[in-house]
Chains A and B, each alone.
Chain A
């Protein structure tokens, strides 16, 4: 029994010691997969990476194509969808259209990234890790980007909830009004413009970052939405001398002229080893819009009415849309070089022929295709290895700023200066004489169309000008159902936040 007791005591002792030896650290495990704030932001690179990641929000193909390009173009009916998104033709966009949800989610992800960066930048400035100069620039970029996301959200949905700080609650906030959102955009852009350098002051390796000019361009546009036309004129004027129109309209979207003189803000992309499949740093807008005969895609095509609407001699026409019998205007692109054209079309060099327009295997397309998205000579579409493109996508350029400025001038009572921009800058660059259209707004809408069709803003400018419904009725005879000039708030977002009220009509 003695041994017995000794063993028992030893066992008891072990049991008692065990919890003591089990130190506090036992329950404090370290996350070695992801970095925590404690270990970060002690050096410059971290905060720069934090800001880079806000730009990364744009790198999503559904965001770019289905949530921006679609709306800017399908809603004007100048372009149409082949496939399952044809509901743009009747403005019956389903409330569960996935791309809008993606757009919402990504935009707010970008906004949250921006909101989370601001206090970090400030604290690193206080800790002298950041110089004031760099801290200002980074903060300017952050505010600019936040403003851009809100700008496009409000352009499509109208008012959306304004989140200007990283959420500390569960974010179930109601929508702000459209004006409140654009006012916030204007505020962000104002501050950003005061903090950011001009494009020409930028280190070339920073090209693609927000600049003072970009902030002013969006500030002016936001002021337009707010109908503060005087202020908009002042804002736009500041860009003079910092940006120019390309002499040759075709050069705006040339592959070899990325970040050109007219470019104010672009989404930047870069090539990688795999240009066949979707990836973060490439886009497939180009392949998406190429004729099926070349790429086996052809998911978007132009309306012949757009093609026919250009005045004779307008140099923007073939830089915007080509059709049967037309060669591609870009000297870098030879239709005859595409594999499928060689195989099936005897290597002809036109976008189909009048006898055999390229309407796709099923004949369901118009035969007319956008050119602005067809400029990357490397893109071959599906049969080849280059489905994806590395070409930058221009969101804001000087041509748009000038037209907006013209509208602002007109609406603020300076019709003469407005006509001057229209006739002597925009139309002149297009090798056109002054317009014969007496009504300024009618003339302006035409210029918006012919200058910006196939890019990323036309429909939004129409809505901003209050011309969307009339335009669609006038040119396409379609009555937009009441309320459907706005996109529906995504069904899934309402499902998690019942404070979001759907746009009327959906």
Chain B
């Protein structure tokens, strides 16, 4: 601080005498991260200022600089000035001065361009006498929020007087009272005022509760907001605080277990991987993902991995038709509305978040080592005349064991940094943020990097005009060289644990960079290769960019009437390459392969809405109506081929063989009209009607338009006279709704019969004519799809009844919903009999019903120093297929898990969705243990011969003691496909989350559990762990130590594991209930302990808050499931008929995170 008493030039000019002190101070208002500079503008007629605990001199200085007015005052006079939290956003000078002096014991007068400061004159005798009385009592204390965070700038006054103060940077106040009686009034914007009797205490600590009680919370409902109190639909909300508690990479992961009715499952745990979200059950065989609306922009083909969770303010999940109908044709799977953080008036807040995480190595299966494997191979060779490698025939003790899991697993590492600046004035509010996220997975060569930048700008130049802009850019790059699935990480358990094909090394990679390989051309090692070498040598990159930019202008010509025009663009681009070098580790020796692809999606949206709300006495109405148009063009280009003269090249033009290329574009468009009217009578009877009409280019002439109506009503019982005196009830509301919404998510132009000639040499439709020595290839032309000109929306009709209640001053909150959701004519790329010439066709067929009960209950306690809240939610769900097409009672799984096309006991059909059953029910044989002796087999075979003649068997010709026995369900004396039945369901009976948050003084902690109950898992990995012959072809494969030690032999009559054989002709490991397990689990998803540094330490650094936390995710899981992780999504992403099949997912394990939050 620098005071200049000798500014001669000023004195001369103004002609003022010495002794008048001129204060000058040069301040740089903000210097942030060394790069951001805000300079105050000179001589404005409005003042901007934002500082906590500012001294009067600092304020004067700022005003002088900005307005040109000088201050004249006595330094002794202003010695008693109170520090103040002052925020002025473009405030006119006079109003600014009023605010500056409002709480000071001074006032001012303007003479010319000088502001003269003097002591307040005492007006009125009563006041005068009171304030002139000698102070007799000093009371001190601290004001905090329910979380224990200090509240700064809370006004503390003695009731009925002008005596008062405000709390300082640590929330402390000190007030001098005339005596030790009276009542203190604490007021603070956004919090409920509180009155506390002094009652002789000299220390009064107060906790203020946010005045926006949960009932007054605004919920984003699509083209508008509504108070939670007035909601007639079923909406669940998740706020930033809940999201921030878990250091996850993507927004959707943070939602797991947070909202009833929303089931979130990771398909795999690799960095940046997608998760599947189902709102209120599996409603379709097609795409079950909800519509995402980010800052008012509906994003087609929702992909949240680009969003930075730190930017999210709230997530509102619209569940019932009343809530979703406003999004019409895209809303049948629910709508997730994401709102990002925006700037607030009167404060500039800079927040920095950083966290570092370590992820433990994943859990492993206990697999046979080289010696155990070879021992078993020797047994099989002897027993079945199976040809094994010469080096396996002798003593195996010298063979090197390779632990494939160790080779692929590593300790993961994750870093996350965010910086955000949010603030503004009455007219302009901005929020700016940068984010960086980097995760190196716990499998080698898997990582995800993301860079985010976002800017939200709100401009309100006057009362009737408002403009708002949201810009979000992200760049991300996900590389997972070896991922989930039967062709990926599932191989780790199957890889033979010794590798002797390369004479130079028997290691994965030796010190000289030589890679080992398996013996070529030998039966036992057929199809085995050094996948470590493959993965280590490949080269790929998948960078993507996303820009979501939207803005609106809103005009309020009359009170309550708003006209809004919203325009947005959504650009996505992706550019990738993939390269594998040539190598000679397998035969045929693969050539180098190179592919490059890029695609771009450009989309625009234009929406114009009119909204009107007005209260007429006891009636109030709220209307919004509008029109919308959206258009998307997706274009792609790519090429690939084999053979490069050097492994250093990455060049399409240099490819020597098998070049194939593609490049095309497609456009879709959506045009809509919509409206919603809410009528409220006496704050207790609320009715809402919604309708949307959508036209889509995805459907053919006459089928383009669909109408989606809904109605709902709520009755706020609490407002009725019979409950108005029940003080313990704060809110009691019952709701009911009915409505329809649609799903249009199918590939484009399915209504058209289009023709194509095949895309590449490997997939052409042409043929060869001409004599042997002069053959010529001629183009072909083929009908691509079985067209259905009548193709139209899938319609979901949903009814919902709900109850919202709040008790004991809002301490207990309870919500319940029961719903029925019937999707009919669902758009299904339905497997059609190949007799049509096609294997699938997009059709409107069938009907699925989901019924569910959703409960959530919360309790919070914020009056003691130990403050805590607990909340739990649970969802009970029943899924039932009501019908398919005529003559179709069931459909099998759509994806065959990419098994190779070999015979034997492959899992081609493993799920069956039957009318009356659930979607994706597991389908296979029932087992009756293991045949313990040959006599039993022979007797059954004899019976089959009697029934069906010579050559007949109960199971197969080679069934013997030690093989698995299957149940003859239809009692026809033999095992055929007809003996397959439903053997399990992937759909849980219920699932839910439980979270607990607490704080005590500087400490805070949170705890979060997620669990599912009553579903089964079809464990394909378990089958691999007891299959000695290669499950998908010729050769042998590794398996578990447990099998090795405990399988059936003539001596050891195991009832658990069948005998070891060289070829599973009996189909011991076909799909059966032997691989169906209970999939229930309870997982501690998150445990976090935080410490906030005492503000005394911070105030010197001008920092508001520093919090350090430690957290751990997935610390433990209670489950009976034998696999590595019971959280199993769809085996093939997006395919609900492959749900709950464990095909060796990218593993999860616990994270340990150290994090830092700083606000200043």
Contacts and interface: CB of A to CB of B under 8 A. Distances in A.
Contact of B769 (A59, A91, A99, A207): A207
Interface stretch (B293-301, B402-410, B778-786): B778-786
Contacts of A173: 833, 835
A460 B707 CA distance: 58
Interface in B863-903: 885-892, 899-903
A92 B957 contact: yes
B543 to A, nearest CB: 25
Nearest to A93: B903
Contacts of B776: 205, 270
A91 B952 CA distance: 11
Contact of B784 (A34, A62, A96): A34
B756 A34 contact: yes
Given A113-B782, A361-B387, A361-B523, A104 B834 contact: yes
B137 interface: no
B616 interface: no
Contacts of A30: 667
A383 B587 CA distance: 7
B557 A115 contact: no
Nearest to B557: A8
A92 B956 contact: yes
Contacts of B565: 11, 14-15
A198 interface: no
A416 B80 CA distance: 135
A304 B664 CA distance: 55
Contact of B1063 (A84, A94, A270, A505): A84
A32 B664 contact: yes
Given A15-B565, A102-B901, A31 B770 contact: no
A172 B888 contact: yes
B40 interface: no
B522 to A, nearest CB: 5
Contacts of B5: none
Contacts of A18: 606, 608, 627, 629
A281 B777 contact: yes
B757 A49 contact: yes
B769 A205 contact: yes
Interface in B757-798: 757-758, 761-784, 786
A91 B100 CA distance: 97
B15 interface: no
Contacts of B763: 280
A279 B629 contact: no
Interface string A49-70: 1101101100100100010000
A270 B774 CA distance: 9
Contact of B780 (A52, A268, A277, A479): A52
B762 A268 contact: no
Interface stretch (A228-236, A240-248, A256-264, A444-452): A256-264
Interface in B539-581: 553, 555, 557, 563, 565
Contacts of B753: 36-37
B195 interface: no
Contact of A34 (B755, B834, B885): B755
Contact of A49 (B666, B771, B779): B779
Interface in A76-99: 82-87, 90-99
Nearest to B889: A498
A32 B665 contact: yes
A31 to B, nearest CB: 4
A410 interface: no
A268 B774 CA distance: 11
A163 B769 contact: no
Contacts of A171: 832-833, 835-836
B958 A90 contact: yes
Contacts of B105: none
A493 B832 CA distance: 9
B916 interface: no
A392 B752 CA distance: 36
A276 to B, nearest CB: 6
A26 B669 contact: yes
Contact of A496 (B780, B831, B899, B1065): B831
B591 interface: yes
A83 B835 contact: no
The residue among B563, B669, B776, B778 with the most chain A CB atoms within 10 A of its own CB is B778
Main secondary structure of the interface of A (DSSP, over half): loop
Nearest to B775: A270
A40 B780 CA distance: 13
B606 A361 contact: no
Given A8-B563, A62-B901, A31 B749 contact: yes
Given A257-B772, A482-B948, A46 B754 contact: no
A146 to B, nearest CB: 11
B666 A32 contact: yes
A105 B838 CA distance: 7
Given A56-B764, A108-B835, A506-B976, A172 B887 contact: yes
The residue among A53, A98, A161, A483 with the most chain B CB atoms within 10 A of its own CB is A53
B669 A36 contact: no
B3 to A, nearest CB: 48
Contact of B892 (A8, A22, A495): A495
The residue among B520, B588, B608, B834 with the most chain A CB atoms within 10 A of its own CB is B834
Nearest to A100: B903
A94 B887 contact: no
A441 interface: no
A170 interface: yes
B890 A495 contact: yes
A206 B605 CA distance: 54
A34 B754 CA distance: 6
Contacts of A407: none
Nearest to B759: A33
B396 interface: no
Given A50-B780, A208-B770, A281-B761, A163 B755 contact: no
B464 A4 contact: yes
B908 A491 contact: yes
A14 B766 contact: no
B134 interface: no
Contact of B833 (A22, A50, A172, A258): A172
B770 A207 contact: yes
Contacts of B904: 84, 87, 94
B938 interface: no
Nearest to B903: A97
Interface in B827-861: 830-839, 841, 843, 845
A204 interface: yes
A257 B778 CA distance: 22
Contacts of A8: 555, 557, 563
Interface in B138-166: none
A362 B387 contact: yes
Contacts of A29: 666-669, 697, 748
15 contacts: A12-B563, A18-B608, A26-B671, A31-B748, A83-B526, A85-B903, A105-B839, A108-B835, A112-B836, A113-B837, A208-B768, A277-B642, A296-B587, A361-B522, A491-B977
Interface of B: 387-388, 464-465, 520-524, 526, 553, 555, 557, 563, 565, 587-589, 591, 606, 608, 610, 627, 629, 631, 642-643, 656-658, 664-669, 671, 673, 695-697, 701, 704, 748-749, 752-758, 761-784, 786, 830-839, 841, 843, 845, 885-892, 899-906, 908-909, 912, 948-953, 956-958, 976-978, 1030, 1033-1034, 1063, 1065, 1067
Interface of A: 4-5, 7-8, 11-12, 14-15, 18-19, 22, 26-37, 40, 45-46, 48-50, 52-53, 55-56, 59, 62, 66, 82-87, 90-99, 101-102, 104-105, 108-109, 111-113, 115-116, 161, 163, 166-167, 170-173, 204-209, 255-259, 268-270, 272-274, 276-281, 292, 296, 360-364, 382-383, 387, 390, 392, 479-484, 491-500, 502, 505-506
Closest 8 CB pairs of A and B: A112-B837, A362-B387, A258-B772, A53-B780, A34-B754, A98-B901, A495-B892, A171-B836
